[in-house]
Amino acid sequence: MYREHTKVIKIGDRVIGGGNPILIQSMTNTKTEDVEATVAQIHALEKAGCEIVRSTVPTLEAAKALGEIRKRIHIPIVADIHFDYRMAIAAMENGADKIRINPGNIGSAEKVQAVVDKAKEFGVPIRVGVNSGSLEKNLIEKYGKVTAEGLVESALDKVKMIEDMGYDNLVVSIKSSDVLMCVRAHELLAPQCPYPLHVGITEAGTVYSGNIKSAIGLGIILHQGIGDTIRVSLTGDPVNEIASAKQILRTLGLRQGGIEVVSCPTCGRTNIDLISLAGEVEKMVTEFDHLNIKVAVMGCVVNGPGEAREADIGIAGGVGEGLLIKKGEIIRKVPEEELLSTLREELANWK
């Protein structure tokens, strides 16, 4: 298990690496300069279970806003920096818990050194990020195209540059929207990198395609013992990323707790709006992350009780009503419009 042997890195009041739990990250899509909107989005992410959040810092105004945002949130905040090394310095001076840079687009060695010196002064970890879309031209020419080998060489070159500048408080990420290339790159990098790896499939896509690509890519990588913190990158509301990340970790046995929802695919016997109900249940159960149980949502009373037997609790639809089921036993009938609230009440009083 590579993750058990990576360096322990402190980010705000959280730690990653060294076999510590894999933490879930996301990124705000508000204008960082808009403090109110950004804080509101981070609060929603926190409620969903986000453990580290990243915000872009393209301007000095955004860097200053970061300081105010940090006072009002409860998880570490990472400043995402591109091109202008001064933004990295300003972000750290305003309280960033970590910075994310690609040294290749920051500029000269002197500029990178200035960032490293400031990180050393404030004890701020640096995430060295390399993406397939910004791989250096010489490495594309060397390998003939963008390859996993090129991504790894680029990342290790950047790590060595910062190490040679006297700093090893590092996290590394190599990302690609090509799932199998991303997997291969991590397989090549993990044996060579002593630092925690931030894992994700970049620009994965919409909730539909992005979830499929992320589940496959992250599933393969994490199952090999690679990865210390993850992000599921989805187009849209970043809160959706958290539920997906949790489900990936739970499915792999890398995170305990939280409710697992199982639901039937529906058929001609279904007499309630099961699709909407299942979606509402999936959202509702995020309020009960302290419970480690299985909830079944079934479409009919024919097979519902039997199919729900392995679940701790379930509901099965009928005509305008449904059944509340515990461990395969029917407890009572409930009007269709009260199924969700009844289930919530049961979970709120779960013993």
- Per DSSP, 331 falls in state E
* 273-302 tens-digit pLDDT: 777 888 888 888 887 888 888 888 887 766
Sign of CA dihedral 241, 245, 248, 250: negative
**In the chain, domain spans:** 2-251, 260-348
Q: What is the pLDDT of residues 236-251, one digit of tens each?
A: 899 999 989 998 999 9
Residues 104-119 have a mean pLDDT of 90
Instruction: Report residue 270's pLDDT band, with 50, 70 and 90 as the boundaries.
Output: low
Tokens representing residue 47 in the block: 């409620």
Strands 229-230 and 260-263: unpaired
Mean pLDDT value of segment 155-163: 94
Is a pLDDT exceeding 90 seen at residue 128? yes
Q: Is the pTM of this model over 0.75?
A: yes
Between the alpha carbon of residue 303 and those of residues 35, 151, 267, 330, the distances in Å are 51, 51, 11, 12
State the average pLDDT for the chain: 90
User: pLDDT tens digits, residue range 84-98?
Assistant: 999 999 999 999 999
Predicted local confidence at residue 285, as pLDDT: 84
The pLDDT score that the predictor gives to residue 288 is 84
DSSP state, residue 4: G
Is 63 buried (19+), middle (13-18) or exposed (0-12) by CB count in 10 A? buried
Range name among 197-201, 259-263, 317-321 with the lowest pLDDT average: 317-321
**Average pLDDT value for residue range 18-32:** 96
Would you place residue 303 in the very low, low, confident or very high pLDDT band (cuts 50, 70, 90)?
Answer: low
Rounded CA-CA distance 220/96 in Å is: 32
The predicted pLDDT at position 129 comes to 86
2-251 — its CATH code?
3.20.20.20
CA distance 251 to 41: 27
User: Residue 242 class from Cβ within 10 Å (0-12 exposed, 13-18 middle, 19+ buried)?
Assistant: buried
Fold of the 260-348 domain: Sulfite Reductase Hemoprotein; domain 1 (3.30.413)
Confidence class of residue 268 from pLDDT cuts 50, 70 and 90?
A: low
In the chain, the percentage of residues whose pLDDT exceeds 90 is 60
Query: Is the pLDDT at 123 greater than 80, yes or no?
Result: yes
- pLDDT score at 276: 82
Residue 269 above 80 pLDDT? no
